[in-house]
Structure 1
Amino acid sequence: MIKILHLSDIHMGSGFSHGKINPETGINTRLEDFVQTLSLCIDRAINEPVDLVLFGGDAFPDATPAPYIHEAFANQFRRLADAKIPTILLVGNHDQHSQGNGGASLCIYRTLVVPGFIVGDRITTHRLSTRNGDIQVITLPWLNNSALLTRPETEGLSVAEVDRLLLEKLQPIIEGEIRRLDPDIPTVLLGHLMADRANLGAERFLAVGKGFTIPVSFFIRPELDYVALGHVHKHQNLNQANNPPIIYPGSIDRVDFSEEKEDKGYIFLNLIKGKVEWKFCSLPVRSFCTIKVDVSEKDDPQQAILDAIKKQEIKDAVVRLVYKLRSEQLELISNLALDKALKSAHSYTIRPELISQLSRPRLPELGVGNTIDPLEALQAYLNNREDLQDIAEEMLETAQGLMDN
């Protein structure tokens, strides 16, 4: 039975705006949070001990992190080398230069020939000997168009056509790796990619135009015992039949408020040929808390805001307070009072939003015998949504088309 710890998307150095400088260390507290979270993963790997650690990519926010951030990452992974635990560091999209060439932030581990460390920066199969037997790991790093295609091949093609061509190029490459596998040894595919069944949640807008989507069917193969993925920050299993499990562990800490509701952690699994047992292990990460309140119709708007704050558990949390009010209510709000109410938070931001009196809905009164045209209702709604003005005309045209059908 081979024990494996699978983690991904560390993004060490992210979210500094949600932290503050620790006066004792001179380091941003959010970096300290990320280091602490990573250390818990490494602790589990060493204390178990596991036979292999798989990192699914995106070590930092970009390919050239500051030296002190790189050092914080290296200090943790060096513990695996000292414990003689083999580790594969896969190259993700954030680990590459903007041109998509190489794994700039991780290549130092290959250059220094760190014992037991493999940098997965190309599609190939690695055979490793562990304390509890041999294992094969196919590495599939983040792929850009230039990785598989030449400029003449893509000239004049739409995005969808380029994506289809990429898949046509990738499929025989993966097939070639699978055909060279030893059928008697357990096999894992480690990939940093966007799978077509992935539930992105609040991240869905970040995925647009940032790489192509690979069908999950690519990986539902009897030769594969486990598919370890990285890139999507929300933990999920894309193949509930578990033949094989296709797992995103998600990021190990919250990068921003889009991940406010997500549980964070890593995957621990036991693997033999033809059988795998896996478990998602939650990590105790700092909570994020959004407080939204509309006080535009309140006689005492400040008290309404304070009451909303009291209802939330904000101690040591990263908090954002968003309240809506009318312009004439501004003088009724004391920032000092809000600062005092939010004092127990780790950090906080306060964002008032003014409601224009001119933007109030002007809809006919609805009652018995009264109706309103759906398009008029949609137009009134869009008139009150400044954030939708750039697509308002398209929405109206689409609605008209639906009604005409």
Structure 2
Amino acid sequence: MKLEDERIRIVHTGDNHLDPYFPRLGAKQMERRMDFWRSFKEVVEFALRTKPHLFLVSGDLFDRVDPRNPPRAQVIKCFRAMDEKGIRSFLIGGNHDTPRSMEEGSSPLNEIDATGYSTLLWEGEAETFNVGETEICVSGISYDFTLSESDDPLSRVKIPTEGDFNVFMAHYPLRGIEHPMLRNEPRIGFDKIPDDLNYLALGHVHSSFFRRMGDSRYLACPGSTERRSFNEESDEKKGFFYLEFSGDGKLIEKRFVEVSTRPIKTLRIKARGNVDLNSEVIGRARELSNEELLLRVIVSGRVSLDTLGRYRRDEIIRELSEMFFAVQVNDEGLEYEGGEVNFSPGPDFSPLSSFREYVEEGISSCENDEEREVLRKVLEIGIKYLEEEGAW
């Protein structure tokens, strides 16, 4: 059979963030974790039905390096089921499930790799096999915390392209394409992508995109399979890519397959003057009442001192908790007519401002220049990751 007559079927997913940590959700945390599991299970069930040749997970399968044992066991069962169907699966580590140091131990992905049900690609390793008469070469790199924002992750690796159809996996954004939530990140330059690479399977960016780079050359990022934070509220759909290529790299079919996700919404309320703020917030939110909805309320504006004296954030959360899956209230933008008000920390204090204040206090009191520089780096990295997680 000629290469152009062969069909190579691929399921490409990533940023599944299994077993996330949501302490602010309290008793609802386990149910929220199940949202992430259900969306990933839909990807696996699709693969078991369609039996693709390749199942690619381009980073952050897990949300952390130390997921609980039950999710680990369930994930291994999924990869075993795919392996039994003859589906070859490949993993790379992302910035969430790759250890930053020896102290954090090994990645949970190593356990999956050790079973033989999937292959973990770490530093450019390649696996070559045949689909019919077509030789497939799959390689990839996991996230590297030693890289700086000026580094190109591909400058340290030679991408293998010995196959008839070549795939490379990476968990990085692209240089020249802005992603507001990914600041100070190493980025892949288009000039480092080999001309004979057929498919660059990306992760890390939580919104999906697909690009044609040239004749028989494509890159794609499926985005996350569940919204990790309110930064993803504008993503109407979450899912993964199902792709079919000819043996010589021509795209035959591209389909973005949607998965089920929990609805999330932000309600913005601009208050003015002397109003009953609690009643206004509760009344406006009641119009959106949905027991499945994760609601964020952002309250801002300049109001009277009397209004502020009667404002109760905990009362709002208590009143709305029966109407929604969960409610978050952010009132940092609320001011009284004489200036800004600093509320004492309550159930929804700002983690970003608290972190910044704490580290800056340490910097100002530090007498050693070297230690002061270390703390500045801690502040820079900490703010970046808090913002990435949706902290305000």
TM-score with structure 1 length normalisation?
Answer: 0.72
Change (3 A) 1:74 1:359: same
Matches of 1:336 and 1:105 in 2, distance apart?
41
Residues 318-329 of structure 1 mapped to structure 2, 5 A cutoff: 318-324=294-300, 325-329=303-307
Map 1:285-324 to 2 at 5 A. 285-297=261-273, 299-312=275-288, 314-324=290-300
Confirm or deny that 1:245 pairs with 2:246.
no
2:118 matched to 1:110?
A: no
Unaligned runs of 5+ in 2: 1-6, 341-352, 361-392
In the TM superposition, residue 87 of structure 1 has moved relative to its aligned partner by: 0.6
> Residue 347 of structure 2 aligns with which residue?
none
Matched, 1:284 2:260: yes
Task: Give 1:139's aligned residue.
Answer: 140
Counterpart CA distance in 2 for 1:53 and 1:237 is 17
Give aligned-pair identity as a percent.
19
The alpha-carbon distance between structure 1 residues 243 and 83, as it changes in their structure 2 partners (threshold 3 A), is: closer
**Amino acid of the residue matched to residue 257 of structure 2?**
C
Q: Deviations over 1:329-351 (max 9, x none)?
A: 14545655663345221111234
What letter matches 2:63 in structure 1? P
Instruction: For residue 198 of structure 1, report the CA deviation from its aligned partner.
Output: 3.7
Change over 3 Å in CA distance of 1:167–1:8 after alignment to 2: closer
Which residue in the other structure is 1:264 paired with?
238
Are the counterparts in 2 of residues 238 and 246 from structure 1 also a CA contact under 8 Å? Answer: yes
Q: 1:283 to 1:317 in 2, by over 3 A?
A: same
Provide the residue aligned with 1:9 in structure 2: 15
Larger Rg: 1
Partner of 1:344: 323
Deviation (angstroms), 1:236: 1.6
Equivalent in the alignment of 2:171: 192
Structure 1 residues not aligned, in runs of 5+:
147-158, 361-385, 391-405
Give the direction of change, closer, same or farther, for the CA distance of 1:292–1:83 in structure 2 (3 Å limit).
same
Q: Indicate the structure with greater strand content.
A: 2
Q: Which residue of 2 aligns with 1:217?
A: 191
Amino acid in structure 2 at the alignment position of 1:76:
C
RMSD: 3.2
- Counterpart of 1:357 (choices 330, 337, 346) is 337
C-alpha distance in 1 between matches for 2:71 and 2:84: 20
Seen in structure 2, the aligned counterparts of structure 1 residues 75 and 337 have a Cα distance that, compared at 3 Å, is: same
3-state SS of paired residue (1:194): coil
Which amino acid is 1:278 matched to? K
1:2–1:132 Cα contact (<8 Å) kept:
no
Task: Give the aligned residue type for 2:167.
Answer: V
Q: Distance in 2 between matches of 1:316 and 1:18?
A: 17
- Matched letter for residue 105 of structure 1: P
TM-score under structure 2 normalisation?
0.74
Contact 1:249 1:267 in 2 (8 A): yes
Q: 1:46 to 1:300 in 2, by over 3 A?
A: same
Provide the secondary structure at the position in 1 that maps to 2:151.
Answer: helix
Question: Using the alignment, how far apart are the partners of 2:250 and 2:307 within structure 1?
Answer: 64
Q: For the residues of structure 1 that align with 2:95 and 2:55, how far apart are their CA atoms? A: 20
> Aligned pair count?
331
